Amino acid sequence: MKRRLRSVITEHKELAPHIFSLKLKTEMSAEAVPGQFIGIYPKDGARILMRPISICDSDAETGELRMVYRAAGKGTAEISGYGAGESLDILGMLGNGYDLEAVKEKKVILLGGGIGIPPMLYSAKRLKEQGTEVTAVLGYADSNTFLKEDFEKYCTVQIASMEGSVGTKGTVIDAMNENGTEGDVIFACGPMPMLKAVKSYAADHGMQAFISLEERMACGVGACLGCVVKTREVDHHTHVKNTRICVEGPVFNAEDVDI
Ligand SMILES: Cc1cc2nc3c(=O)[nH]c(=O)nc-3n(C[C@H](O)[C@H](O)[C@H](O)COP(=O)(O)OP(=O)(O)OC[C@H]3O[C@@H](n4cnc5c(N)ncnc54)[C@H](O)[C@@H]3O)c2cc1C
Ligand code: FES
């Protein structure tokens, strides 16, 4: 059930320049599926739209959700200014998430690029819990390898960096080519050029790829059609070859979307 709830910040810290880790105490933590996201509302009345941020981790025991986000514009910059003990309104749980059960017996490659890295952490944790073999390939801009140690708790980690200061110089695709990374299924999140490259890599290697699209959103609940992506088949809701990322996604089989 989607609802707007008040949550309390339990931890908020800067992991790398402009990259923040935010923990929120909320009853929604018990429902979170990897790949889903929440909407965080700025408090400034000039910014009424929620900001969609993926679940990076969820701890049902402590009742905390963790998000890792970049302070990209005015809304996220405002959110980054709130500290432990303060409250934030959130909308959730949003989106579909990855089907972990379907890949239980397979070898999964998690590909995260930049601020697409955080949602892969919760996938790594839950895949490890169900005994699935996982390799994470993480693509950074530079040597600020935020979350790397967190991933190492759950899986083999390979690194790429665009400037070449750590790991393979280049993209996550370059790292897979250099390391001969093997798997049956890819889960990926990152910038659109990376997702396009992942789609064609998967097609060339006979692999399935599930990609998370983090495009601009407004309502987050399927009402405004502000987040549609072109699809191969006619969509059951829109009746055209367009689907809503916030409801039918953000995770799609790469073959089903025209990116
Ligand atoms: C499903 C999903 C998951 C996401 N997960 C993360 C995450 O885990 N970490 C992270 O750092 N970022 C994530 N993003 C991107 C994040 O939502 C934007 O960076 C953020 O909304 C920018 O808001 P702003 O107020 O700082 O920027 P502004 O440019 O001031 O935002 C203006 C408006 O545009 C919307 N908007 C701007 N950029 C984006 C964008 N890229 N995606 C969606 N809406 C946008 C805002 O929500 C707001 O309504 C995700 C986006 C989506 C759609
Ligand atoms: S953001 Fe409104 S329909 Fe998706």
Please indicate, yes or no, whether residues 194 and 151 belong to a single structural domain of this protein.
yes
The number of the ligand nearest the C-alpha atom of 76 reads 1
Q: What is the pLDDT of residues 34-51, one digit of tens each?
A: 999 999 999 998 899 999
Residue 256 in any domain: the answer is no
Cα–Cα distances in Å, from 222 out to 2, 157, 218, 226, 249? Answer: 11, 36, 9, 8, 10
What value does the mean pLDDT of the chain take? 96
Please indicate, yes or no, whether residues 153 and 205 belong to a single structural domain of this protein.
yes
Please indicate, yes or no, whether residues 190 and 108 belong to a single structural domain of this protein.
yes
Please indicate, yes or no, whether residues 112 and 186 belong to a single structural domain of this protein.
yes
The number of the ligand nearest the C-alpha atom of 244 reads 2
Q: How far is the CA of 239 from the centre of ligand 1 (A)?
A: 27
Please indicate, yes or no, whether residues 105 and 197 belong to a single structural domain of this protein.
yes
Is 162 a pocket residue for ligand 2 (Cβ < 6 Å)?
no
Nearest CA to ligand 1 atom 7: 53
Q: Which residue, 212, 227, 251, sits at the end of a domain? A: 212
The pLDDT-based confidence of 240 (bands split at 50, 70, 90) is confident
Is 237 a pocket residue for ligand 2 (Cβ < 6 Å)?
no
Among the atoms of ligand 2, which is closest to the Cα of residue 245? Answer: 4
Range of 177's domain? Answer: 101-212
Cα–Cα distances in Å, from 40 out to 5, 34, 87, 128? Answer: 10, 17, 11, 28
Q: How far is the CA of 243 from the centre of ligand 2 (A)?
A: 10
Residue 87 in any domain: the answer is yes
Please indicate, yes or no, whether residues 45 and 107 belong to a single structural domain of this protein.
no
State yes or no: pLDDT of 102 exceeds 90. yes
The pLDDT-based confidence of 1 (bands split at 50, 70, 90) is confident
Q: Which residue, 94, 120, 137, sits at the end of a domain? A: 94
Here the CATH number for the domain that contains residue 132 is 3.40.50.80
Here the CATH number for the domain that contains residue 26 is 2.40.30.10
| Beta-bridge partner residues of 244 | 228
Question: For a pLDDT cut of 90, what percent of the chain falls above it?
Answer: 93
Please indicate, yes or no, whether residues 90 and 105 belong to a single structural domain of this protein.
no
Is 77 a pocket residue for ligand 2 (Cβ < 6 Å)?
no
Q: End-to-end CA distance of the chain: give it in Å, rounded.
A: 30
The pLDDT-based confidence of 238 (bands split at 50, 70, 90) is confident
Q: What is the mean pLDDT of residues 232-244?
A: 86
Q: How far is the CA of 247 from the centre of ligand 2 (A)?
A: 8
Q: Which residue, 94, 119, 147, sits at the end of a domain? A: 94
Q: How far is the CA of 225 from the centre of ligand 2 (A)?
A: 5
Q: What is the reported pTM?
A: 0.96
Could you give the CA distance from residue 142 to residue 154 in angstroms, rounded to a whole number?
A: 23
Among the atoms of ligand 1, which is closest to the Cα of residue 76? Answer: 26
CB-based contact 94:38 (threshold 8 Å): yes
Which pair of structure tokens corresponds to residue 8?
């309390």
Q: In the chain, how many domains are there?
A: 2
Please indicate, yes or no, whether residues 76 and 136 belong to a single structural domain of this protein.
no
| Beta-bridge partner residues of 38 | 53
The number of the ligand nearest the C-alpha atom of 95 reads 1
